[in-house]
Amino acid sequence: MSSGPIAAPTLAAPDPTPPRRRLGRWWLLPLTAGALVLGTTVALATNGHLPGGPAPTATDATGGNAGLGPAAPGTRPTPSGNEGFGAGPASGSPSPSVSGGATSGAFPGGRNTLPGASIYLKSGESFAAGLARSDRSYGPLRMVRVFYPGLPPSWSGSRADVANRTVVVSFKAPPGEVAAGKHDSRLAAWFRSVPRDLDVYWSYFHEPEDDVERGSYTAAQYRAAWKRLAGLADRAGNARLRSTLILMCWTLNPNSRRTFEDYWPGGDAIDVLGWDCYNSGGKYDRYTDPAQVFTPMINKSKALGKPWGLAETGSVRIAGDSSGTGRAAWIRSMSRYLDGQRPLWVAYYDYEVAGGDFRLTDAPSREAWRAWCAAS
């Protein structure tokens, strides 16, 4: 994978004993107070792997564990149900629904969770056109999941900019290079360019687990890169930038033989936990109870005192469910369950990939997701 353009000279090395990152986030306190101890519940059918093939790989020839001293971040309030859209709609702004539904007003009942999706593009379709199509289908979306395979492009005109609402945006670069400061100048400029009237949940190298297992880089390099990036983001002084670690739900399953702490750079570096959780019961021609799918990652998030969201979720249609009514019922069940759990956002993985077709192409499934996007 390309690591992006050559970066400008790096920032000066930090003081070897930088001060602790000042959290100052009153919006985390209710969750911290209600933290639960992680139990022994195991979702045997939970699998957070990206449904497609292996992601592009970034490798490191050399390591690096330099840290960047933090600057004090501002207060980061939790978005409410009537937030998510920017003040100045651009070409990719929410489109009116073709058949009515949600508007940009508050959700009935005051639900805080922002519903959204990733944007699957048809052949030759621009991101703005794909986003408008998704808005028409779902009513419109209040958040959008954006993926960058390398370093993030300039904000102006990028997919995150076109979305013009709350985004969960991820990017990649070799962790050894990031930790050593090779991309400091470019990334610091990107963090400074992020608008201050939008909630931007930024994530570095989402789903790193398979890459670590392949030996593309080490867990220590990954954690060090995160710590440096958190310092760069804090120095931008943007209270609405939120560092978001995105892992697979599968990682919490003992059968994965993984350890969460390998990927955890510490609570000072991470504001929010994002999870990729799927109904992998599709492998066995069943729709798994949402509580079984999601409970482990909810417990883990609460145990760490961190707010959380679903960066990817979805289900293929299982064998025998040609009409999609079974998947629609699963989506409604998932929606009811998540309503009681209060995630920050939930992004449906609206893609067709090598691992299956998760797109909501059948009317029952599409209407089930639309209903949740449009109502409390």
Known active-site residue 207: yes
* The pair of three-digit structure tokens given for residue 45, joined into one six-digit string: 């059918």
- The runs of H, that is alpha helices, within 202-252 are 209-214, 219-235
Query: 189-241 pLDDT, tens per residue?
Result: 999 999 999 999 999 999 999 999 999 999 999 999 999 999 999 999 999 99
- Determine contact, residues 236/190, Cβ cutoff 8 Å: no
Known active-site residue 177: no
- Cα gap 314→358, rounded to integer Å: 6
The CATH number covering residue 350 comes to 3.20.20.80
* The pair of three-digit structure tokens given for residue 184, joined into one six-digit string: 């400091």
If 0-12 CB within 10 Å is exposed, 13-18 middle and 19+ buried, where does residue 99 land?
A: exposed
- Report residue 355's pLDDT band, with 50, 70 and 90 as the boundaries: confident
Q: 83, 177, 207, 209: which is the annotated catalytic residue?
A: 207
**In this predicted structure, what is the pLDDT of residue 284?**
85
For residue 140, is it within any domain?
Answer: yes
Residue 333 has pLDDT above 60, yes or no: yes
- Cα gap 186→4, rounded to integer Å: 10
- The runs of H, that is alpha helices, within the chain are 29-33, 127-138, 159-163, 175-179, 184-193, 209-214, 219-235, 290-303, 325-339, 363-374
Per cent of the chain over pLDDT 90 is: 66
Q: 83, 177, 209, 312: which is the annotated catalytic residue?
A: 312
For residue 248, is it within any domain?
Answer: yes
Residue 116 has pLDDT above 60, yes or no: yes
Residue 139 has pLDDT above 90, yes or no: no
- Determine contact, residues 138/146, Cβ cutoff 8 Å: no
Q: What is the mean pLDDT of the chain?
A: 78
Count structural domains, the chain: 1
- Determine contact, residues 230/243, Cβ cutoff 8 Å: yes
Closest CA to 66 of 182, 166, 167, 236: 182
For residue 83, is it within any domain?
Answer: no
For residue 11, is it within any domain?
Answer: no
Query: 61-110 pLDDT, tens per residue?
Result: 333 333 333 333 333 344 333 344 443 333 333 332 222 333 333 333 45
For residue 280, is it within any domain?
Answer: yes
For residue 221, is it within any domain?
Answer: yes
Token look-up 């709350």 returns 166
**In this predicted structure, what is the pLDDT of residue 128?**
98
Strand partners, 201: 168, 242
- Determine contact, residues 186/8, Cβ cutoff 8 Å: yes
- Report residue 281's pLDDT band, with 50, 70 and 90 as the boundaries: confident
- Determine contact, residues 203/168, Cβ cutoff 8 Å: yes
* Structural domain harbouring 49: 31-56+101-374
- Determine contact, residues 64/224, Cβ cutoff 8 Å: yes
Averaged pLDDT for residues 319-329: 96
For residue 342, is it within any domain?
Answer: yes
pTM here is 0.76
**In this predicted structure, what is the pLDDT of residue 376?**
53
- Report residue 283's pLDDT band, with 50, 70 and 90 as the boundaries: confident
- Cα gap 128→357, rounded to integer Å: 22
Strand partners, 349: none
Number of Cα atoms under 13 Å in the Cβ half of residue 191: 26
- Determine contact, residues 164/135, Cβ cutoff 8 Å: no
For residue 86, is it within any domain?
Answer: no
Query: 285-307 pLDDT, tens per residue?
Result: 999 999 999 999 999 999 999 99
- Best mean pLDDT range from 25-29, 42-46, 233-237: 233-237
